[in-house]
């Protein structure tokens, strides 16, 4: 508690133009944690008084009137206790098949019993575990049940540890619901077994929440992207007709092709050995049809170039990685993307230094390095 009382006075949080800034929100979270620990120790907390004071701080950000609203939206939901840790663990069980990969920083989880059941389009996890904070040493033994229906309907219930018979009864009844229900509603299935309010997908900590949401979005959009891909393959002639006739392309077709071509570029860039010929074809089509493919490929192209140059630094005799990096930079530029190149510039300078130290580097590799340095705007001298 004393530590968080000190942290809440971190200076950058007190020099702000608006109370909704990230630095101010962070020091408010430190204060919130101090209040949370004070409440656990004394049974009371002046949190309501703090919120009343914050209400007098006007916020300039649209949609937020004052500091009290900032606190309720960004500070209170970030508060963590052992129930929140347990909810994170139980919900993550629905998405992570490798249980050893479930890591919760600063907390230990000792699973005592766990039953995972899967049915068509649904997954159920029922178990008991001991959750311990490595910081405060607080420990709590909890029963949990979490259920996933479809690809995003999630509910999780938590309660104090129950007897073996009661646990078995709960597990059997939930498994029966999972098997019998044609349209499963997780909240309806779990509510009879828990007195506390149910948790949802938002109970996941931010990093895992982002990863799970990405998986859900990928699953949900896979049929759309497949259809866009088929459209991309079959629309070449009609797009060329629009281009030659100087007619505007329908917005729906233009957007569908942006999605399909962007997905194709991402797939190529993520491959360990990028298919540069296919990338060139997409760049030519994008230029001919006036389609800009910036968005996600901007970041991905920069990261991919850095990965390729890191490999080249380990083997500066090989000219292929240098050629690939040059071609990626040129082709994504033709598509309208401007990747972040600072890491690539630093790596290119390291490669240049290493090549200068080695006497047996072949001339073609030195020539490719010169082209790369030029493309990156780095002096070859």
Residue range 30-59, pLDDT digits in tens: 999 888 888 888 877 788 888 999 898 888
In eight-state DSSP terms, residue 182 is S
Give the residue among 149, 155, 145 at the shortest CA–CA distance from 199.
155
Residue pLDDT, tens place only, 202-230: 777 777 777 777 776 666 666 766 666 67
pTM of the predicted protein model: 0.59
d(CA 60, CA 105): 35
State CA 25 to chain mean position distance: 21
- Give φ, ψ of 16 to 5 degrees: -140, 150
- Rounded alpha-carbon distances, angstroms, from residue 114 to 152, 167, 286, 294, 319: 22, 11, 52, 45, 53
Give the residue among 266, 258, 274, 259 at the shortest CA–CA distance from 327.
274
Contact 115, 93 (CB under 8 A): no
CA dihedral 83, 86, 92, 93 (to 10 degrees): -140
Residue pLDDT, tens place only, 75-123: 888 888 888 889 888 888 888 766 665 667 788 888 888 888 887 778 8
Structure tokens at 299: 């970041």
Task: Report, as an integer, the average pLDDT of 185-192.
Answer: 83
Collapsed DSSP state (helix, strand, coil) of residue 274: coil
Percent of the chain with pLDDT over 70: 91
- Specify the pLDDT at position 224: 65
- Rounded alpha-carbon distances, angstroms, from residue 288 to 240, 242, 254, 282, 292: 8, 10, 13, 10, 11
Contact 109, 96 (CB under 8 A): no
Degrees, nearest 5: CA angle 213-20-60:
120
Contact 6, 33 (CB under 8 A): no
Give the residue among 101, 81, 100 at the shortest CA–CA distance from 211.
101
- Specify the pLDDT at position 16: 73
CA dihedral 342, 347, 349, 351 (to 10 degrees): -160
108-145: buried (b, 16+ CB within 10 Å) or exposed (e) per residue?
ebeeeeeeeeeeeebbbbbbbbbbbbeeeeeebebbbb
- Specify the pLDDT at position 251: 81
- Specify the pLDDT at position 97: 66
Task: Report, as an integer, the average pLDDT of 221-243.
Answer: 70
- Specify the pLDDT at position 377: 85
Rg, C-alpha atoms of the chain = 28
- Greater pLDDT, 262 or 215: 262
């Amino acid at each position: 508690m004393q530590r968080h009382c000190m942290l809440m006075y971190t200076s950058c949080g007190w020099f702000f133009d608006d109370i909704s800034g990230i630095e101010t929100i962070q020091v408010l979270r430190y204060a919130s944690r101090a209040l949370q620990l004070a409440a656990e120790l004394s049974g009371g907390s002046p949190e309501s008084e703090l919120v009343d004071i914050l209400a007098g701080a006007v916020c300039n950000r649209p949609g937020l009137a004052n500091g009290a609203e900032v606190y309720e939206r960004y500070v209170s939901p970030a508060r963590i206790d052992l129930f929140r840790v347990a909810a994170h663990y139980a919900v993550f069980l629905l998405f992570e098949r490798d249980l050893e990969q479930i890591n919760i920083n600063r907390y230990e989880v000792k699973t005592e019993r766990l039953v995972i059941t899967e049915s068509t389009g649904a997954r159920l996890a029922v178990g008991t575990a001991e959750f311990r904070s490595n910081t405060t040493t607080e420990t709590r033994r909890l029963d949990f049940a979490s259920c996933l229906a479809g690809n995003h309907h999630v509910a999780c219930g938590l309660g104090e540890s129950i007897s073996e018979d009661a646990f078995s009864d709960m597990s059997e009844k939930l498994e029966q619901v999972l098997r019998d229900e044609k349209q499963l509603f997780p909240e309806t299935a779990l509510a009879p077994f828990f007195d506390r309010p149910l948790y949802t997908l938002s109970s996941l900590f931010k990093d895992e929440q982002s990863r799970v949401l990405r998986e859900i979005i990928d699953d949900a959009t896979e049929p759309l992207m497949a259809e866009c891909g088929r459209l991309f393959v079959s629309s070449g002639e009609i797009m060329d007709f629009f281009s030659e006739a100087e007619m505007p392309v329908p917005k729906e077709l233009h957007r569908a092709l942006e999605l399909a071509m962007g997905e194709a570029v991402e797939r190529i860039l993520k491959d360990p050995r990028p298919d540069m010929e296919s990338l060139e074809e997409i760049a030519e089509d994008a230029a001919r049809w006036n389609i800009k493919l910036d968005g996600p490929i901007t970041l991905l192209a920069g990261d991919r170039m850095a990965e390729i140059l890191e490999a080249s630094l380990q083997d500066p005799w090989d000219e292929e990685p240098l050629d690939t990096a040059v071609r990626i930079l040129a082709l994504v530029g033709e598509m309208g993307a401007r990747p972040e190149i600072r890491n690539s510039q630093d790596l290119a300078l390291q490669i240049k230094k290493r090549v200068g130290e080695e006497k047996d580097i072949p001339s073609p590799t030195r020539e490719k390095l010169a082209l790369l340095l030029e493309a990156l705007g780095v002096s070859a001298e």
